[in-house]
Structure 1
Amino acid sequence: MEMITSLMDPWAFALALSVAFIAGIVKGMVGFAMPMILISGLSTVISPELALAGLILPTLATNGLQALRQGWRAALESLLRFKGYLGTLLVVLLISAQLVRVIPADVLLLIIGVPIVLFAATQLAGIPLRIASPPSRAVEISIGAFAGFIGGLSGVWGPPTVAYLTALDTPKADHIRVQGVIYGLGAFVLLFAHIGSGVVRAETIPFSLALLVPAFVGMWLGLKVNDRIDQKVFRKATLFVLFFVGLNLIRRGLT
């Protein structure tokens, strides 16, 4: 605890715990947005670099739970189905993580936010964007590379993945599980990538550990809600979360 309070004020730490709880609820409901909520909320009171370090372990742990909720066989099937996308994402993520101090943060936020808002808005307006399933190798690799690039720099690779799965019209249970597999392996790589970049170190690990409990409690509540909604409601909820997350990223990029 002393190590955490040496990094931030007690009130900032209390706010961080609250943000992790809210991120967990949303994560349980729609399967994503934890890194985005954490990086957005935590960055208002602590440095973006410390916020990035804080989200690593909660993201890794909750995605592991999400991926294995229907058993390891289902998780393995999802892994094999999206192996091209996932392989590209992980390789690019590992490389781009080393550029975390090079590219301006405002530029990165706009790169993520603008296409996500456009995608979510057109979907909610009833203008469908569909990708044939299974997708072509070029589409799979291109989207995986984009997601990995922004993921290594910001810890946020959810929006392109969710947009991709939504465009494939993936069923709710598969949507949630595939997200868990993809984000979980990505978070595992991100952990070691940022050990190398210096973001994750002995001084910042206790803070990330402290965020695990509120994240898990929030996710448990969110999963209860997810179990009660159908595919149509799930899709709309996913798109609304994408839309507002994208707007927030654009706001931060412009300000």
Structure 2
Amino acid sequence: MMRLNQIVHSRLKCLNHSKSFIKADFVNEQLYLYLLLIFILAGFVKGVTGMGLPTVAMGLISLFMPLPVAAALLVIPSFVTNVLQLCTGPSVRQIIQRLWRMMLLLLAGTAAASSLLISINATWSAFGLGVALLIYAAFALVSPSFTVPESREKWLSPVIGGVTGVITGATGVFVMPAVPFLQSLRLSKDELVQALGLSFTVSTVALAAGLYLHDAFRVEQFSLSFLSLFPALAGMWLGQKVRARISARLFRKCFLLFLIVLALELISRPFI
């Protein structure tokens, strides 16, 4: 890992304290291999659990790349897989009509806060990502059951969207608090899958726009992000194939425990 860090830092001539992007000569064969394995794994997790691709990929890529670079690589795989998820059922229009306030604030919050992902010191931005992953994993392990009454949904929805947007813009991870909120809305299983797909799609588009406006998502990143789509889809297909043959509950628990370990490593960086 130290050798990989040295390779990355020696190649990131184009990075400074406020702007981060990949030059054409950045990626070598070793990095291609790491990214290939990461996106296959992230796609596999999404295929088994229905979510987790950006969470896994962002956490692992951030171990050896700056967060803005990791976020840029996620744009195309995240967008395509989540659009596919959004279109899996018949309720797209109804979901959009119900959640448009949340999506509007999610879009605005992510675009506005994306400057934090670019400007914050890399060590502390990794710390923020670790905190977000730890909170999400711990919450998901506990799995508290609660329901948001319809009378509160209308005003709470944009609040959740705005908060999720700020966290997304600052860390590149868009699961908290949107996922627990959507799970509390008494949606059917298919509607929940589509609602999550909608939320993740909007977050991806907003994050891509924010990165582009801050000169951190250019042709080089777009090309590599596009190439990352194929291992992600392959992993997702494989995960869907084996989902019926493994215990989804046990796999999810192991996945969340892995996220906690990864989060603790990121959180410890400023102090070691």
Deviation, 1:237, is: 5.9
Distance 1:159 1:222 in 2: 24
In the alignment, which residue of structure 1 is the partner of 2:50? 31
Q: Judging changes above 3 Å, is the alpha-carbon distance between structure 1 residues 244 and 131 closer, same or farther for their aligned structure 2 residues?
A: farther
1:220 and 2:233 correspond? no
Deviation, 1:114, is: 4.2
- Selected match of 1:132 from 118, 139, 148: 148
1:144 and 2:164 correspond? no
Deviation, 1:109, is: 2.2
Paired residues, number: 243
- Selected match of 1:11 from 30, 35, 45: 30
Alignment-mate amino acid for residue 263 of structure 2: L
In the alignment, which residue of structure 1 is the partner of 2:125? 105
- Selected match of 1:58 from 77, 88, 91: 77
Distance 1:78 1:27 in 2: 21
Listed one character per residue, the Cα deviations across residues 152-209 of structure 1 (whole Å, up to 9, x for unaligned) are 1222102422222333454432222211111112212222221111111122222111
Matches within 5 A, 1:39-188: 39-70=58-89, 73-103=90-120, 104-123=124-143, 128-134=144-150, 135-168=152-185, 170-188=187-205
Q: Classify the secondary structure of the residue corresponding to 1:200.
A: coil
Larger Rg, first or second structure (1 or 2): 2
1:252 and 2:234 correspond? no
Does the CA contact (< 8 Å) of 2:134 and 2:259 recur in 1? no
Deviation, 1:219, is: 1.6
Distance 1:190 1:182 in 2: 12
Listed one character per residue, the Cα deviations across residues 107-126 of structure 1 (whole Å, up to 9, x for unaligned) are 42254134324422432xxx
Identity value in percent: 23
Alignment-mate amino acid for residue 114 of structure 2: A
Q: TM-score, normalised by structure 1?
A: 0.82
Does the CA contact (< 8 Å) of 1:31 and 1:180 recur in 2? no
Alignment-mate amino acid for residue 139 of structure 1: L
Show structure 2 runs of 5+ residues with no match: 1-21
Moved more, 28-37 or 3-12: 3-12
Deviation, 1:141, is: 2.6
Does the CA contact (< 8 Å) of 1:88 and 1:145 recur in 2? yes
Deviation, 1:254, is: 2.0
Does the CA contact (< 8 Å) of 1:131 and 1:168 recur in 2? yes
Listed one character per residue, the Cα deviations across residues 54-102 of structure 1 (whole Å, up to 9, x for unaligned) are 11111111111111122xx522222222222222111101100122233
Distance 1:52 1:113 in 2: 15
Alignment-mate amino acid for residue 200 of structure 1: F
Q: Judging changes above 3 Å, is the alpha-carbon distance between structure 1 residues 47 and 114 closer, same or farther for their aligned structure 2 residues?
A: closer
Moved more, 168-177 or 153-162: 168-177
Per chain length, whose mean CA-contact separation is higher, i.e. which structure has more relative contact order (CA < 8 Å, sep 6+)?
1
Show structure 1 runs of 5+ residues with no match: none
Q: Classify the secondary structure of the residue corresponding to 1:182.
A: helix
- Selected match of 2:223 from 206, 209, 221: 206
Distance 1:177 1:237 in 2: 22
Aligned-residue Cα RMSD (Å) equals: 2.7
